[in-house]
Amino acid sequence: MTAATAQAAPAVEALGAAKTYASGTQALLPVQLRVAPGEFLTLLGPSGCGKSTLLKMVAGLLAPSGGELRRWGQPVVPGAAAGPELGFVFQEPTLMPWARVADNVRLPLDLAGVPRGEADGRVQSALALVGLQGFEKSLPRELSGGMKMRASLARCLVTRPRLLLMDEPFGALDEITRYRLDSDLLQLWQQQGLTVIFVTHSIHEAVFLSQRVLVMAARPGRVVEEVSIDEPYPRQAEFRVSTAFAEHAARLQRGLLGASTA
């Protein structure tokens, strides 16, 4: 494959990707999905609709039981190291409690054998991107929940990923902190030209962030609707109280309700 075809390939494709666990649970019926480079896509749905399952299959952390996943045109090999191009942010910040912020953020570079001088420079840049300059020497217990999540995001950005998979990253935060992190994430997404697949239960978070939302339903897990949030960026706080925002939220709400009564 040439560099030109890699550029043209979708960032992510799911070609009938499905998952039935060994227990017999149909976590995800076959999904057809194409995510363009630079897109912000959100998976929205209730607990158990297969959001994490789909994200883990895209990351190669979980093998599909049917169909295929591709990243940048290449088949995803389950269990194979994804490389620095992919970042995965979990709901829990999963920081090493005994290590200072800078050491936590440098971990992926240490594991990859990046020389210390270069790694330290990249850690500084990643901390600046998430607004944590000055907290290099802090321990995780000295940080607020939002700051821990920023550190976790910095640890992900330090490898300079092109694709960010985010599994309810701000779900445990208070609403105001979450709004702030949502806004900062959008800025990062635009600045860095990232492709993002974001998982949430929150209709409002989905509307605020996304270009496109896949509405999902449970038992069995499946995609029931695809909704475009055709609103310009940058999206300011006022967008949250606009009529357009309310209309998009109502549309997603109807999609979720329709799926739960179907």
Q: Could you tell me how many residues of this chain bind ligand ATP (CB under 6 A)?
A: 13
Beta carbon of residue 254, minimum distance to ligand ATP (angstroms, whole number): 19
Binding span for ligand ATP by CB under 6 A among 23-31, 95-103, 124-132, 245-253: 23-31
CB closer to ligand ATP, 23 vs 191? 23
CA atoms of 74 and 88, how far apart (whole Å): 18
**207-226 positions binding ligand ATP, by CB under 6 A:** 221
Please report whether residue 233 would count as binding ligand ATP according to CB under 6 A.
no
Q: Which of 44, 49, 181, 256 binds ligand ATP (CB under 6 A)?
A: 49
Beta carbon of residue 244, minimum distance to ligand ATP (angstroms, whole number): 27
At residue 133, φ and ψ (nearest 5 deg) are: -60, 145
- How far CA 237 is from CA of 184, 191, 249, 262, in Å, comes to 12, 19, 15, 35
Q: Which of 11, 33, 50, 223 binds ligand ATP (CB under 6 A)?
A: 50
CB closer to ligand ATP, 43 vs 130? 43
Sheet containing 74-75, strands listed edge to edge, beginning at the edge strand earlier in sequence: 26-35, 12-20, 66-71, 74-75
Please report whether residue 52 would count as binding ligand ATP according to CB under 6 A.
yes
**Residues in Cβ contact with 227 at an 8 Å cutoff, skipping those fewer than 6 apart:** 212, 213, 215, 248, 251, 252, 255
Number of H-type helices and E-type strands within the chain: 8, 10
CA atoms of 157 and 125, how far apart (whole Å): 9
Please report whether residue 108 would count as binding ligand ATP according to CB under 6 A.
no
Angle between helices 145-157 and 175-192 (to 10 degrees): 20
Q: Which of 1, 4, 23, 141 binds ligand ATP (CB under 6 A)?
A: 23
At residue 15, φ and ψ (nearest 5 deg) are: -110, 90
Where does this chain bind ligand ATP (CB under 6 A)? 21, 23, 25, 27, 45, 47-53, 221
